[in-house]
Structure 1
Amino acid sequence: MKTLIAIDSFKGSISSTDGSKAIALGITDVYPEAEVMMLPLADGGEGTVEALVQSTKGEFIQKEVTGPLNEKVDAVYGILGDGQTAVIEVASACGLPLVPSDKRNPYVTTTYGVGELICDAIEKGCREFVIGLGGSATNDAGIGMLQALGFSFLDRHNKEVALGGQELRNIFSVDVSSVHPILQDCVFNVACDVNNPLYGENGAAYVFAPQKGASEDMVKELDEGLKHFAQVVFHELNIDIHNIAGAGAAGGLGAAFAGFLHAFLQSGVELVLDLIKMEEKMEGANFIITGEGKLDGQTSMGKAPLGVTKLANKYHIPVIALAGGIEDVSNLNELGITACFSIVNAPMSLKKAMGSKVTFDNLRLTTRQLMQLVQAINVKC
């Protein structure tokens, strides 16, 4: 029997790697000789680096970079098993958790560290990049990242502007003469699951900046800065960075990647599944086990379990989905998930249920019981 395990992390509880190990143990408890393949997943957000490094037998790289508050932080990115593809979560360098709640201020937070990670990966020989957007503490349209890569944004006095979102309205020209020369040989694939434009009522400032510490007045000024910056870029470089689907992601980093680095913005799940060669590894599988922390309506909107299911359906492979919580999954059944199961096996507090050891044990126990059922059915048949 061949089983493929492809789960996302149970956020705040257990990583996709450790969760996969628990499920594998549950399978081999009943079928000791089973062929079990583990492919930890992510949807482009938190856990993407770990999932892709583990799935491709790559390596983790730690690098000290400029954090969102212009202080040094230790960031981690990955180089995949091919030795030439770097995978970077922008949150590792400019994420909201790196900023204390009382210091959250998108006027000053910067994406400079993201550019430093890209430079480091280039020096290590990488020319292909997988970027996970999301979770940033910034609203600087990616100018910090671009400055680290050699782009210059000059004010009316022909001086380089400082870091942070408040500097966007001070930019009057763009100088590309010192851009890192190897960037032209690099390909950027960006996991982006939002389609917000750069500015306006659906843009980066109005939709995302409040959770990053912006007041109503700040949101208005940040939005004006984004609009001004977009106009300067269009005038200077003839590049429209506003009307790109996903331009407003991660405080405008989507615009920076697509407009300046010619990146491809695409579904995070589809990007990850393609990189780990999920479809070809499904060959010969009797069934697939997928899952995430909670299965609900959002799962049907492009999360990892649905991406797995779409591929499995092409080959008529049954899909079992495991989760801590389950809400109204009839739609998921209609979309192809064969059956969904909660791993919570007794009344308990949310805090206890989310404990990593409890989650590990519950994943193993639930999987073991499912395998007992599969075994009984096979014997009877």
Structure 2
Amino acid sequence: MEPLRVVVCPDSFKGSLSASEVASAVAEGVLDVAPDAVVARLPMADGGEGTLDALLAVWGGEPETVATVDAIGRPAQARWVVSPDGRTAVVELAEASGLPRVADVPLQPLHASTRGTGDVARAALDAGVSEILLCLGGSASTDGGAGILTGLGARLLDAEGRDVPDGGEGLAAVASLDLAGLHPRAREVRWRLAVDVTNPLVGELGAAQVFGPQKGARDGVADFLDDALRHWAHVLEAETGRAVAELPGAGAAGGVPAGLVAVLDAETTPGAELVAEAVGLPAALADADLVITGEGSFDSQSVNGKVADGVARLAAASPRRPPVVVVAGQVLLPEAQARAAGIAAAFSIAPGPIELDDLVSRTGTRLRDLAAAVTSLTAASRG
């Protein structure tokens, strides 16, 4: 009999293990039971925080580092990475403009900006890449992507021709765009934006109303930012001809896709799909007998554009249609819904009632044990 072929492609268990660490623990469990198994370890991410590390775990090499600023303008360092073929730069917005960067100070929802991410993208353009994969997630700002554009050399001008200040508050005063100073390669490369939401830019499901509160936008500030984003969308449409206010996914990361789709013709794509492509998951699934993915909490969001959903879709489209098993810290999705999404089974690593701190400290061991049990069942069914 041919060796068991297993693809291990989990997301991180936030607050516990990285995707790479989860993949290692699961792979060890597989090999405990089937020492001759062929195991492909492909750490995954949904395009948000952790994507850079997941890709580095598969690609190898060292990240590039650039001097930039955080979301409130303080000096910072941010990493980015080039694909093995040298063509694609992966930029993670949270590296420069994420909430963790400004966790030491009160949130500044009106002034926080993505300008620092623009600095990182500029460095990637200077390096000569032909594509930028921008991973959105964990943003500290609601600036409609204006900060990235200014970091790339664009100017946002008020009615008197003066530069407006960074952040969502400044969007309300924008009257025109000056793109004369835009990086000369900014419109030559392909921009792909990894998103994990379908929210529009504005309205009750938009960037400010849904995601603004977690960035400090309360007590009417979210309403102000929603109006500012709506005004920004009108300016973008007048300047570029692109209507972005209702564009699905434009509300991601404080509205970043709005500015980049309009000015740079960027494409939005589910983040899990982009990461899967980047790490070679479709090819790995072609001859797999078993697929094990996982995340901290397996719930309704998991089958709506997250890693487990993307893995299940790719497995269903592969020649052998291997079963997909989810291992998770907690399983909240009913079995019927999991099966409808193409998940064969989902198991929690919790052995029973247990304190969260205890479970976190034993995550690696429990993942290994659970993967061994799943592999035993698979091997028995083959025999």
**Structures share fold, TM-score greater than 0.5:** yes
- Contact conserved, 1:297 with 1:329, CA < 8 A, in 2? no
Listed as ranges, the gaps of 5+ residues in structure 2 are none
Q: Does 1:369 align with 2:373?
A: yes
Alignment coverage as a number of residue pairs = 377
Q: Does 1:324 align with 2:329?
A: yes
- Contact conserved, 1:80 with 1:86, CA < 8 A, in 2? yes
Aligned counterpart, 2:155: 152
Aligned residues: CA RMSD: 1.9
Deviation at 1:253, TM superposition (A): 0.5
Residues 175, 366 of structure 1: alpha-carbon distance in 2 compared, 3 angstrom cutoff: same
Aligned counterpart, 1:199: 202
Deviation at 1:264, TM superposition (A): 0.7
- Contact conserved, 1:53 with 1:80, CA < 8 A, in 2? no
**1:301-312 equivalence runs, <5 A:** 301-312=304-315
Deviation at 1:105, TM superposition (A): 1.6
Deviation at 1:177, TM superposition (A): 0.9
Aligned counterpart, 1:99: 102
Q: Does 1:30 align with 2:14?
A: no
Deviation at 1:58, TM superposition (A): 4.8
The separation in 2 between residues aligned to 1:336 and 1:74, in whole angstroms, is: 41
The percentage of counterpart residues that share the same residue type is 37
Residues 228, 346 of structure 1: alpha-carbon distance in 2 compared, 3 angstrom cutoff: closer
The separation in 2 between residues aligned to 1:376 and 1:192, in whole angstroms, is: 39
The structure 1 residue matched to 2:168, chosen from 165, 169, 178, is 165
Q: When the two structures are superposed, what TM-score results if normalisation uses the length of structure 2?
A: 0.93
The structure 2 residue matched to 1:289, chosen from 292, 296, 299, is 292
Deviation at 1:368, TM superposition (A): 2.1
Residues 306, 202 of structure 1: alpha-carbon distance in 2 compared, 3 angstrom cutoff: closer
Deviation at 1:59, TM superposition (A): 3.5
**1:173-322 equivalence runs, <5 A:** 173-314=176-317, 315-322=320-327
Which 10-residue stretch deviates more, 162-171 or 326-335?
326-335
The separation in 1 between residues aligned to 2:205 and 2:325, in whole angstroms, is: 37
Deviation at 1:113, TM superposition (A): 0.5
Letter in 2 for 1:330: A
The structure 2 residue matched to 1:343, chosen from 349, 364, 383, is 349
Listed as ranges, the gaps of 5+ residues in structure 1 are none
Q: Does 1:14 align with 2:14?
A: no
Deviation at 1:150, TM superposition (A): 1.0
- Contact conserved, 1:324 with 1:342, CA < 8 A, in 2? yes
- Contact conserved, 1:5 with 1:40, CA < 8 A, in 2? yes
The separation in 2 between residues aligned to 1:335 and 1:109, in whole angstroms, is: 38
Deviation by residue 1:263-312 (Cα, 9 ceiling, x = unmatched): 11111122222222322212222211111112222222122112212222
Deviation at 1:173, TM superposition (A): 1.7
- Contact conserved, 2:65 with 2:78, CA < 8 A, in 1? yes
SS of residue paired to 1:352: helix
Aligned counterpart, 2:360: 354
Residues 58, 241 of structure 1: alpha-carbon distance in 2 compared, 3 angstrom cutoff: farther
Q: When the two structures are superposed, what TM-score results if normalisation uses the length of structure 1?
A: 0.93
SS of residue paired to 1:354: helix
The separation in 2 between residues aligned to 1:248 and 1:168, in whole angstroms, is: 15
Deviation by residue 1:303-347 (Cα, 9 ceiling, x = unmatched): 211221222223221222211111223211233222222222253
Deviation by residue 1:114-144 (Cα, 9 ceiling, x = unmatched): 1001011112222211111122111111211
- Contact conserved, 1:58 with 1:79, CA < 8 A, in 2? no
The separation in 2 between residues aligned to 1:16 and 1:279, in whole angstroms, is: 18
